[in-house]
């Protein structure tokens, strides 16, 4: 571990930034973590120990899964929408040491053919879990969509890097 500056004196009631960096000799297998602690002397005889950890996520698995539409063909309705369900993020690791993989961003976009109609949903900082969204047959601006074939594109971007996951679900408005 390296601190810049290596030594700093702070007067009571004041603060100064210190940059800490860690270089690991070996990267742990995912899901795993690097962990340690920072020791500081706050006053003669007073020592602080501040623990830290950096998670190593599993990046080869999808960030979203189980994307499904309740019905592939439906009539536009505000009262009885079709339901788009999905699992966002994951919980990896073991029961003793679970590791949450939340999403930095979840987006649901609407396409008609190859033309992007617009974004229906954009969520940030999404915790792992099951989510459901109602599709009423209305577009991004609230207007009723014309009858025809459409595609819902779901994009999940994991926190901490790793490739985003995209899933597409076709449906038809009658």
Give me the sheet containing 73-74, strands edge to edge: 73-74, 165-173, 148-158, 103-112, 115-126
User: Which residues have a Cβ under 8 Å from the Cβ of 55 and sit 6 or more positions away?
Assistant: 31, 32, 33, 99, 160
Confidence label for 8 from pLDDT (cuts 50, 70 and 90): confident
pLDDT band at 74 (very low <50, low <70, confident <90, very high): very high
Both tokens of 39, joined, read 């020791």
Q: State the chain's mean pLDDT as an integer.
A: 89
* Of 31, 171, 169, 164, residue with least CA distance to 88: 164
pLDDT digits (tens, 9 = 90+) for 155-169: 999 987 778 999 999
* Rounded Cα–Cα distance for residues 58 and 56 (Å): 7
- Give the domain ranges of the chain: 2-6+14-56, 64-173
**Does the pLDDT of residue 124 top 90, yes or no?**
yes
Q: What is the CA radius of gyration of the chain?
A: 24
**Ranges 67-76, 92-101, 154-163, most confident:** 67-76
CA geometry: angle 61, 62, 66, nearest 5 deg:
125
How confident is the model at residue 91, as a pLDDT? 82
- pTM value? 0.70
**Residue 89 CB neighbour total at 10 angstroms:** 21
What is the residue whose two structure tokens read 């800490």? Answer: 20
* CA angle, 139 then 115 then 131, to 5°: 50
pLDDT in tens, 129-158: 999 999 999 999 999 999 999 999 999 999
Q: Residue 121: which pLDDT band, with cuts at 50, 70 and 90? A: very high
Q: CB-hemisphere CA count at 13 Å for 167?
A: 17
Note the pLDDT of residue 163: 86
**CA distance linking residue 93 with residue 100, whole number of Å:** 9
Q: What is the mean pLDDT of residues 45-55?
A: 81
97 pLDDT exceeds 80? no
Supply the DSSP symbol for 145: P
> Greater confidence, 31 or 73?
73
Average pLDDT of span 77-96 = 90
- The listed CATH number (3.30.2290.10, 2.60.40.420, 2.60.40.10, 2.40.160.20) that belongs to domain 64-173: 2.60.40.10
Average pLDDT, stretch 55-80? 89
- Judged against a pLDDT cut of 80, whether residue 15 lies above it is answered with yes
């Amino acid at each position: 571990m390296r601190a810049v500056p290596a030594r700093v004196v702070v007067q009571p009631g004041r603060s100064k930034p210190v940059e800490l960096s860690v270089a690991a000799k070996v990267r742990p297998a995912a899901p795993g973590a690097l962990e340690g602690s920072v020791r500081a002397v706050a006053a003669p005889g007073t020592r602080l120990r501040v623990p830290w950890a950096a998670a190593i996520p599993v990046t080869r698995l999808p960030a979203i899964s189980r994307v499904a539409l309740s019905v592939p063909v439906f009539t536009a309705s505000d009262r009885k929408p079709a339901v788009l369900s999905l699992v966002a993020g994951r919980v990896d690791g073991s029961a003793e040491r679970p590791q949450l993989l939340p999403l930095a961003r979840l987006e649901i976009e609407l396409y008609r053919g190859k033309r992007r109609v617009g974004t229906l949903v954009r969520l940030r900082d999404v915790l792992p879990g099951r989510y459901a969204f109602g599709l009423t047959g209305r577009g991004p601006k609230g207007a009723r969509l014309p009858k025809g074939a459409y595609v819902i594109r779901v994009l999940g971007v994991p926190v901490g890097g790793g490739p985003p996951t995209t899933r597409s679900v076709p449906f038809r408005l009658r």
